[in-house]
Chains A and B, each alone.
Chain A
Amino acid sequence: MGEEVKVFGYWASPYSYRAELALKLKGVSYEYINEDIFGNKSDLLLKYNPIHKKVPVLLHNGKPIVESLVILEYIEETWKQNPYLPQDPYDKATARFWIKFIDEKCFPTLWLAAWSPENEREKVTNEACEYLKTLESALNGKKFFGGETIGMVDIVASSVGYFIRVTQEIMGLNLLSADKFPQLFQWSEDFANCSIVKESLPPRDKLLPFVKGLIAKYQQDNAKA
């Protein structure tokens, strides 16, 4: 019986990207459906994710799974090849801790630092740097957070390692720099250079104007509020 795997995503979404990368790492074929999340979300998306109405949604044999981290855990448990979480419960808990740290602290603060008004930027930037320092400590001399190969922490950290780096370029910020965070910087280079990662990342030349537009929108909305 053939497996039906679909991903409802958005080409520029770091969360959507995670689901796709995880499936690619497992060698699982899937159909990708790009949702117009800023315009008109499809009826199917609203049917499969009625509570949050967001991408990504993973559809496996007709059953929807939503929320990127829930999707990553599901993919890991369903397709056992090329595991990206450690087997040992303590190591697994540690990975989950760093994933939560990235999603709740690192990524949101770094994004905030990108579009914050001038008078607030310094404070947020300092906070973001503290988080980056802490995240770098999790690497602990390893090539990837997962060790020799990409693990779930690396997949999630792509939001920092790629998407935030692109954002920084637009804003002329240099938060994730080689001299301030040498290990983390090297990690982001190594990560982006993996062939399986490279082939699925949204292209820089398309992402740059998109993020520029998004930042302008956030700044505009913030000024109105």
Chain B
Amino acid sequence: MSKAKLVILDCWVSPFCMRVKIALNEKGLEYEAQAEDLFGGKSELLLSSNPIYKKVPVFLHDGKPLCESIIIVNYIDETWSSPPLLPPCSYGRAQARFWADFIDKKVFDACGNIWRSKGEVPVEAKKEFIEILKQLEEALGDKDYFIGTTFGFVDIILIPLTSWFFALEKIGGFTVEAECPKLSNWMKRCLQRESVAKVVPPPEKVYEFVLMFRKMQGID
């Protein structure tokens, strides 16, 4: 068992794990990322720390486990207050929570409808995905980041999911940049931050993983 005070049970391609690592990086915290072999066999530590869902990420603070990425990011923000990831006023925080909830309810499944398709990606799946991105783009508006002028909670929740977009573009035959240029610029802006760049894998590597996963699932 690691002696490190902050540990994340991790998988390099999981957007949910990336959220936690970015939050920790933003706070300037040192942590140990323990890679889980999700296909070979989950570790005893993972199964005992997250017996209900048996999923990554699990964040261990002095051995105490926390599960579910948004809950973990909130915990990190509340435990280490600087710099704050959520805006100071209640209404701004409600806006941030709303968008985080929207992202979790909509984006991941819409991505799945594209990369899990056998053969030609249904037009409906692509349409739905782009519509969701356009809603996010409208919320972003002309701002640099989702809530105001500083990188924060909503950006952290969304940017890891975008690491899968290149794979979706290749499989689906469209580009996010053409459909949502403002969102595309926001992605580039976030990827320039060290906290994000250190964590988000190159899109080609994610694409390779998705192709391998499709083969495993008998989709390709």
The interface of chain A, by Cβ under 8 A from chain B, is 51, 60, 63, 65-67, 69-71, 73-74, 77-78, 89-90, 92-93, 96-97, 100-101, 134
Contact = CB atoms under 8 A, between A and B. Distances in A.
A66 B75 contact: no
Contact of B90 (A67, A77, A93, A96): A77
Given A97-B71, A100-B71, A101-B52, A92 B101 contact: no
Contacts of B97: 67, 69-70, 73
Contacts of B102: 51
Enumerate the 7 nearest inter-chain pairs by beta-carbon distance, A residue then B residue, closest first: A89-B78, A93-B75, A74-B94, A77-B90, A70-B97, A65-B94, A78-B90
Q: Which of B72, B74, B98 has the most CB of A within 10 A?
A: B98
B78 A51 contact: no
A70 B102 CA distance: 11
Give the size category of B's interface with A: 20 to 34
Q: Is the interface of B mostly helix, strand, loop or mixed?
A: helix
A93 B72 contact: yes
A101 B169 CA distance: 33
A70 B101 contact: yes
B71 A96 contact: yes
B71 A69 contact: no
B72 A67 contact: no
B91 A90 contact: no
Nearest to A89: B78
Contact of A92 (B78, B93, B135): B78
A51 B101 CA distance: 12
Contacts of B71: 93, 96-97, 100
Interface stretch (B11-19, B62-70, B212-220): B62-70
14 contacts: A51-B102, A60-B91, A65-B98, A73-B93, A73-B97, A74-B93, A77-B90, A90-B64, A92-B75, A92-B78, A93-B72, A97-B66, A97-B68, A134-B52
B114 to A, nearest CB: 21
Nearest to A66: B98
B71 to A, nearest CB: 5
Contacts of B61: 90
A69 B78 contact: no
A87 B90 CA distance: 16
A92 B79 CA distance: 11
A65 B71 CA distance: 20
A164 B6 CA distance: 40
Nearest to A105: B52
A115 B74 CA distance: 36
Contact of A70 (B72, B79, B94): B94
Nearest to A71: B94
Interface in B5-53: 52
A98 B127 CA distance: 34
A64 B72 CA distance: 27
A180 B98 CA distance: 37
A223 B97 CA distance: 37
A101 B71 CA distance: 12
Nearest to A101: B52
Contact of A93 (B52, B66, B94, B98): B66
Interface string B80-106: 000000000011011001100110000
Contacts of A77: 90, 93
Nearest to A90: B64
A73 B94 contact: yes
Contact of A67 (B52, B78, B101): B101
B74 A96 contact: yes
A96 B135 CA distance: 27
A63 B91 CA distance: 8
Nearest to B52: A134
B135 A51 contact: yes
